[in-house]
Copies of this chain bind each other. A is one copy, B any other.
Amino acid sequence: MLPGVGVFGTGRTVRALVPLLQKEGFPVQAVWGRTREEAECLANELDIPFSTSQSDDVLLHPEVHLVCILTPPPHTRQIAVKALGIGKNVISGQAATLTDACKMLTAARYYPQLMSIINNALRFLPAFILMKRLLGEGYCGTLQVCEARVYGGSLLSQSYGWAWEELMGGGGLHTIGSCIIDLLSHMTGERAVRAHGMLRTFVRQGGTGGGIRSVTADDYACFQLLMGGGIVCSVTLNFNLPGADLHEVMLVGSSGRIVARGTELYGQRNTVHHEELLLSNSPSGAGPAVMGMIAMVTQLRMSFQAQDDRRSWARHPVSMAATFEDGLYVQTVVDAIKRSNRTGEWEAVEVRNHDVDPNQNHRTPTN
């Protein structure tokens, strides 16, 4: 049976996700917004029966068994930890800070029966599922280099908000880079050991209404990761290319390479003289974020539908999802890159498990 869904946030991702959930048969029961008006407006628009600006109203809603947290990053941890504590399944965005990611992991480990997934839809994208399979089958031989590039227009909101502030989880590295970092470790099965990065904020004044506030979030990031097994990753993110829409991930190995361009997958073995199309575009023309989300919602449906009650779920259909453990790893890498940008040096990536004690009640240190 499909659970009722409670949604936190009123942004673009929510506007994309809710119709997909509804289409798959999930009853979306409640929405939380920063203000009552924002929540109400979205509820009307997307046909959601209940809206509020009080987070508890969604968390305690009797029809809500699955919580989707797509708020500004600084709110994520508090809602995620509380939702798990109340016994709800959780799909959450990346936390804002390392401390938050640690606390979320503690909560997830404390309630291992509950679903706790980081919302990185790229893992569900058919192109990347096929890429991972082919890599495992030896298409590339020994993996040497991963390269990823994402180019696009500005990530800033028109008026001042969290997206302007590095410390609130704004910037290309945190919002888009996180998904790429997670994807690269998912693809390769390895984690970064050291990181080096360079961040820039070329556009200091966003939209209108910024007043004296200037942007601190990066709009350009270029970083390298040294992964286990000697694999080298190089990632470039540039959000000063309005109208561009490039999303490319390439894996190069000793005997071939595979490249995902948008939602398409191409490959070339070293013995062959031309690139082959391994997976073609979806007819809808939607980009990797939306296509990944569609695939993720389908897997979510499969995870819940065969169950007897609305709270139970099967692990297999969502086994490729990013866990809160992955979330902590990603946040650790993001922090190492930011540190490297300041020091100019390679920074070690040390996931600090000792901060995360599964036997400690996580609710005590909250705030």
Contact = CB atoms under 8 A, between A and B. Distances in A.
Contacts of A134: none
A224 to B, nearest CB: 6
A240 interface: yes
Nearest to A346: B344
Interface in A208-245: 220, 222, 224, 232, 234, 236, 238, 240-244
A147 interface: yes
Interface stretch (A52-60, A266-274, A329-337): A266-274
A242 B270 CA distance: 6
A200 interface: yes
A8 to B, nearest CB: 34
A351 interface: no
A191 interface: no
A70 to B, nearest CB: 29
Given A196-B196, A198-B224, A241 B252 contact: yes
25 contacts: A144-B200, A144-B220, A144-B240, A145-B200, A145-B238, A145-B240, A147-B238, A196-B196, A196-B198, A198-B224, A198-B232, A222-B224, A222-B232, A240-B252, A240-B254, A241-B257, A241-B268, A242-B270, A243-B268, A243-B270, A243-B274, A244-B268, A344-B345, A344-B346, A345-B345
Interface in A143-183: 144-145, 147
Interface in A180-204: 196, 198, 200, 202-203
Interface of A: 144-145, 147, 196, 198, 200, 202-203, 220, 222, 224, 232, 234, 236, 238, 240-244, 252, 254, 257, 268, 270, 272-274, 344-346
Contact of A200 (B147, B222, B232, B270): B232
Contact of A202 (B236, B254, B274, B344): B254
Given A243-B268, A344-B345, 18 more contacts: A144-B202, A144-B240, A145-B200, A145-B202, A145-B238, A196-B196, A196-B198, A196-B344, A198-B224, A222-B224, A222-B232, A234-B236, A241-B252, A241-B257, A241-B268, A242-B270, A243-B272, A244-B268
Given A198-B224, A241-B257, A147 B252 contact: no
A232 B220 contact: yes
Contacts of A344: 196, 345-346
B234 A222 contact: yes
A263 B254 CA distance: 29
